[in-house]
Amino acid sequence: MSDTMFNELRTTRIYEKIVLQIRHLIKEGKLKPNDRLPAERDLAKTLGCSRTSLREACRVLESEGLIVSKPGGGRFIQKVDERV
Query: What pLDDT is stored for residue 81 in this prediction?
Result: 67
Which one is predicted more confidently, 71 or 1?
Answer: 71
pLDDT digits (tens, 9 = 90+) for 12-61: 899 999 999 999 999 999 999 999 999 999 999 999 999 999 999 999 99
Q: 28 is in which domain, residue-wise?
A: 11-77
**Amino acid present at 36:** R
82 falls within a domain: no
22 falls within a domain: yes
5 falls within a domain: no
51 falls within a domain: yes
CA 75 from centre of chain? 12
**Taking 60 as the threshold, does the pLDDT of residue 63 lie above it?**
yes
**Domain count along the chain:** 1
- The CA-atom distances, in angstroms, between 57 and each of 20, 32, 33, 67 are 9, 18, 18, 10
Q: CATH number of the domain that 20 lies in?
A: 1.10.10.10
**H-run or E-run covering 75:** strand 74-77
Query: What pLDDT is stored for residue 1 in this prediction?
Result: 52
Kindly report the backbone phi and psi dihedral angles of residue 21, in degrees, each rounded to the nearest multiple of 5, phi listed first.
-65, -45
71 φψ region: left (φ > 0), alpha (ψ -120 to 50), beta (else):
beta
